[in-house]
Amino acid sequence: MQKIFLECRECNATYRPDFKYVCDSCFGPLDVKYTNKFSTKLFKTRSANTYWKYFELLPILDKSNIISIGSGLTPLIKATKLGEKLGLYNLYIKNDSVNTTFSFKDRPAGVAVSKAKEFNLSTVGCASTGNLASATAAHAAKGGLKCLIFAPKNIEQPKITQAISYGAEYIAIDGTYDDSNRIAAQIGDKHKIGIVNINMRPYYTEGSKTLAFEVADQLGWKVPDQLIIPVGSGAMLNSICKGFEELENVSLLGDTSNIHVTAAQPRGCAPIVNAFKEHRTEIIPIEHPDTIAKSLAIGDPGDGRYVIKRLSQYNGYADDCNNEEIIDSIILLAKTEGIFTEPAGGVSISILRKMVENKMIDKYDQTICFITGNGLKSPESLFDIIPKPKIAQPSIEKILSIMR
């Protein structure tokens, strides 16, 4: 029996699990479905320290094709100090800022590059807003595949420095993320390159599901009440929902239909929030994204309309925040919980704070706020904000005279 097959998200046509990403009859996106029977006890008893703990619900057929750099099983922190500030008793931070390449993108990239190996491809690539570049490049390095990065020429310097260090080739596009995406799609199809977030997308998105698996696992196989998720293309939010659905299907979780899912976006690029607030199902693209949350600067989000669907399925909400609020929230999280995040994480915290202000979260709700990237990846946004140090002569009297 095959472990998996592909199914069209629009018309439900089914396909063999090949190197394929759109439906032949309606051009809809394809999703991976699982047919394997396995003992769910495995997930409760297996000791592991990567997200491959959940192998039975990941789309790799042969374990020998797994390329792992040790990602996943990141901490779920009970945010007691931030919770106290906000009046929440059960606030948790899913801290993916400490993943191997310092963002959650190790999950989708790791699964997609492993699948590329399973398909015997020699080259992978991606279109990236920054973090996916490093995650793809690192897994390609470990697996011995070549890696091409297509990204706007203005992506954050630490992110591109990191990606190139893993040996990837960076093609800097004089344009937006959407331009990079279009070019990567054409080159990928023409040269049989596994572009992880485009022609490998059915497999890529499976990786992010492990965020749902880990949260459920870390809560002792309990269903949370609130999920606050930063959104760019929308793939991660959609995958997290798919993950909870699958856990319910295999009876590892009870009823998941009462989960409240919130999409968080930065104001300068919030096409999904705009659609949600205007009760539209179609997304109007943002042509020139303008935000410090560069990893969320996707003007034409591939999974945008599916995020809207998920929000209506899961008692959802969507909101945006400005640059000032993002920076304020980065600092609040760092000062209360000791976690330093990049602007995308500041977006999740800002929306959490707005929801608390608007009394949308009960103080006892099990609330999970997803922190998806590390602050060291984009320090620029803070350079002008943090106080300049006082320079002191190396003498005790001088130092005591200026200390707070």
Ligand X SMILES: *Cc1c(COP(=O)(O)O)cnc(C)c1O
Nearer to ligand X, 260 or 310 (CB): 310
- Per CB under 5 A, the list member of 2, 14, 18, 26 interacting with Zn ion is 26
Which residue number, 65 or 313, has a Cβ lying nearer to ligand X? 313
Residue 232 contacts which entry, Zn ion, ligand X, none (Cβ below 5-8 A, type-dependent): ligand X
8 contacts which partner out of ligand X, Zn ion, none, CB within 5 to 8 A by kind?
Zn ion
- What's the Cα-to-Cα distance from 177 to each of 126, 130, 183, 232, 268, rounded to whole Å? 11, 10, 10, 11, 14
Judged by CB under 5 A, does residue 175 bind Zn ion?
no
Instruction: Say whether residue 8 binds Zn ion (CB under 5 A).
Output: yes
Give the β-pairing of 146-152 and 123-127. Answer: parallel
CB of 278 to ligand X, least distance (A): 20
Q: Give the whole-angstrom CA distance, residue 247 versus residue 221.
A: 9
Q: Is 5 or 55 the residue whose CB approaches Zn ion more closely? A: 5
To the nearest 10°, the Cα dihedral for 180, 183, 187, 193?
30
Q: Which of ligand X, Zn ion, none binds 236 (CB below 5-8 Å, type-dependent)?
A: ligand X
Based on the shown chain and the rule CB under 5 A, indicate whether residue 13 belongs to the binding site for Zn ion.
yes
* Closest approach of ligand X to the CB of residue 344, in Å: 4
Chain residues in the site for ligand X (CB under 6 A):
103, 105, 131, 230-236, 295-296, 342, 344, 372-373
Q: What is the rounded CA–CA span in Å between residue 56 and residue 46?
A: 12
> In this structure, are residues 234 and 303 in contact, taking their beta carbons and an 8 Å threshold?
yes
Separation of alpha carbons 204 and 193, rounded Å:
14
Please state the closest distance from residue 84 (CB atom) to ligand X, in A. 26
Which is closer to ligand X, CB of 252 or CB of 263?
263
Least distance (Å) from ligand X to the CB of residue 268?
A: 15
Which helix (H) or strand (E) segment is 227 a member of? strand 226-230
359: left (phi over 0), alpha (psi -120 to 50) or beta: left
Indicate which single residue of 19, 28, 182, 245 sits in contact with Zn ion (rule: CB under 5 A).
28
Say if residues 22 and 10 touch (Cβ distance below 8 Å): no
Residue numbers at the binding site for Zn ion (CB under 5 A): 8, 10-11, 13, 23, 26, 28
